[in-house]
Amino acid sequence: MEKTYDYLYALVKSKPIPVHVAIIMDGNGRWAKKHKLPRIAGHRRGVEALRDIISTSSELGIKYLTLYAFSTENWKRPKDEVNALMSLLVEFLRKEVAELHRNSVKIYVLGDIGRLPEAARTEVQHAMDLTRANSGLQVNIALNYGSRAEILKAIKSIVQDVTSKRLAFDDITEQTISQYLDTGGIPDPDMLIRTSGEYRISNFLLYQIAYTELVFTDKNVFWPDFTREKYLEAIIEYQGRVRRYGGLDTGEDD
């Protein structure tokens, strides 16, 4: 029997809530195919699913939600699909930013937005500026994001700062690398969810997920099917994991 939202919500709330949740929102195209619709209809439904996931994250008191929206590799898709994705982003921000702002959500972007169409760049910049001082949920949207490009950019900045003596070679630590990534200042994700049954990372947050708990949905759960209940179930799965970080389980029952 499908568990109700209230039941699952109470269960999630009874245990520690992840501070940072990352999501690879995958399967919009397959959802559309299954429903005999064009791929873009799947993306549109994906945005609707996203709205619920953001509000549930807010309600739960999750601090950071990092969403893979468009990868550096997604430019390989047909021009029409890329354009449609960019238009959907603009539409989403125009419609939702005021409400998100009212709910104290802070919008932040990972990736290189320089390559995005101007309308998208403008909306993204506006959303970030408007919500900069908000203290509620921080939504990081990964746009034209690729982890390898991010690491490359970080290495170049580190080298530059060492060359110009802003940073001492001997002071470079693992934390320095974290700081120079687009996620600098944000704690690593506690859990990473990927929908639609693909068991890969697709160039997302490679450095940051060293000890992140990975949760993959069944292959019949495409992103537009990822309801609030499915989200809570994924968090319950995370809450049942024992995180050892290479050490020993500190639980008392063994």
Among 18, 26, 191, 194, binds Mg ion (CB under 5 A): 26
Stretch that binds ligand IPE, among 23-31, 50-58, 104-112, 117-125 (CB under 6 A): 23-31
DSSP state of 63: S
225 lies in the site for Mg ion, by CB under 5 A: no
Closest residue by beta carbon to ligand IPE: 29
Q: Which of 6, 28, 74, 188 is catalytic?
A: 74
How are strands ordered across the β-sheet holding 213-216?
A: 106-110, 138-145, 64-71, 20-24, 191-194, 213-216
Q: Which does 150 bind (CB under 5 to 8 A by kind): Mg ion, ligand IPE, none?
A: none
Q: Which residue(s) pair with 43 in the sheet?
A: none
Whole-number minimum distance, CB 223 to Mg ion, in Å?
9
Q: Which does 74 bind (CB under 5 to 8 A by kind): Mg ion, ligand IPE, none?
A: ligand IPE
Nearest alpha carbon to residue 80 among 52, 114, 121, 38: 38
Tokens of 113: 């937005």
Distance CA 120, CA 90 (A): 5
Render 110-144 in DSSP notation, one character per residue.
ES-GGGS-HHHHHHHHHHHHHHTT--S-EEEEEEE
110 binds ligand IPE (CB under 6 A): no
Q: H-helix or E-strand containing 60?
A: helix 39-60
User: Could you tell me how many helices (H) and strands (E) the chain has, helices first?
Assistant: 8, 6
Check: CB of residue 11 under 8 Å from CB of residue 180.
Answer: no
Which one among 21, 24, 105, 154 touches ligand IPE, defined by CB under 6 A?
Answer: 24
Rank residues 96 and 197 by Cβ distance to Mg ion and give the closer one.
197
- Residue 16 backbone dihedrals phi, psi, to 5 degrees: -60, 135
56, interface contact from Mg ion, ligand IPE, none, CB < 5-8 Å by kind: none
Give the shortest CB-49-to-Mg ion separation in angstroms: 14
- Based on the residue annotation, tell me whether 74 is a catalytic residue of this protein: yes
Residue placing its CB nearer to ligand IPE in the complex, 12 or 89: 89
In this structure, are residues 100 and 131 in contact, taking their beta carbons and an 8 Å threshold? Answer: yes
Contact with ligand IPE (CB under 6 A): which of 56, 57, 71, 72? 71
Considering only 12, 22, 26, 44, the residue that binds ligand IPE (CB under 6 A) is: 26
Between residue 153 and residue 212, which ones bind ligand IPE under the rule CB under 6 A?
Answer: 198, 200, 202
Helix axes 5-13, 228-239, angle to 10 degrees: 30
Report in angstroms how near the CB of residue 23 gets to ligand IPE at its nearest.
9
Give the residues lining the site for ligand IPE (CB under 6 A).
24-30, 68-71, 74, 85, 198, 200, 202, 223
Give the residues lining the site for Mg ion (CB under 5 A).
26
- Known catalytic residues are 26, 74
